[in-house]
Amino acid sequence: MNRIMVMGVSAGVGKSMFARKLAQSLNIQVYHLDTIYWKPNWIEASLEEFSARQQEIVLLDSWIMEGNYNSTYSIRIAKADTIIYLELPLIICLYRVFKRWLTNIGKTRPDMGEGCKEKLDYQFLKFICTTYYPRKKMMKSKLQAFKEIDSENRVITLKSKKDIQSYLHSLNI
């Protein structure tokens, strides 16, 4: 496990926190796609900029890239050897998004682009609710296709807080 994608069914599933803990356990640099995509004050990077930065990262011997971003999935998947997929229930994801917002009002999280202060609006909540089940279905086929690219590719699916904690604990032994 040297080139790892951390993906999840939704915002609030815990991708960023998991990736940080994984990076610490494995001593591998983590790259949060949100920090690459979002410029200060919620300005989006161009697809060219966003793609180019990921193309630089995937050339490294080891990396953890956290985030979904379907527009550049092919860049990461071509070089990854492992996908760790987090899939918690929608209600937990929504709860965590609200909690994150309350905890970080007026602040920029370390896994977010510089100058992008925490916000929560109707569009984001609608996005979470309308994409959760379609993404859950889509990820099953993406994960299967990844395993078929190379028999050495690993997919690790974690579907509960207990699964996540147990997996991280197993790395520290």
- Phi then psi for residue 31, to 5 deg, are -120, 120
**pLDDT computed for residue 68 by the predictor:** 95
One digit per residue, pLDDT tens: the chain, 173 residues?
999 999 999 999 999 999 999 999 999 999 999 999 999 999 999 999 999 999 999 999 999 999 999 999 999 999 999 999 999 999 999 999 999 999 999 999 989 988 999 999 999 999 999 999 999 999 999 999 999 888 899 999 999 999 999 999 999 74
List the Cα angle 55/61/63 in 5-degree steps. Answer: 70
Provide the 3-class DSSP secondary structure of residue 160.
coil
CA nearest to 33, candidates 76, 83, 93, 78:
76
The confidence score (pLDDT) of residue 151 equals 86
Concatenated DSSP letters of 15-47: HHHHHHHHHHHHT--EEEHHHHHEEGGGEEPPH
With vertex at residue 110, the alpha carbon angle to CA 123 and CA 161, rounded to the nearest 5 degrees, is 75
Q: Which among 107, 118, 134, 83 has a CA at the least distance from the CA of 12?
A: 118
Give per-residue pLDDT as tens, 79-128. 999 999 999 999 999 999 999 999 999 999 989 988 999 999 999 999 99
Query: What is the distance between the alpha carbons of residues 15 and 11, in angstroms, rounded to a whole number?
Result: 8
In order of 101, 108, 133, 140, 152, the CA distances from 37 in angstroms are 20, 14, 24, 25, 30
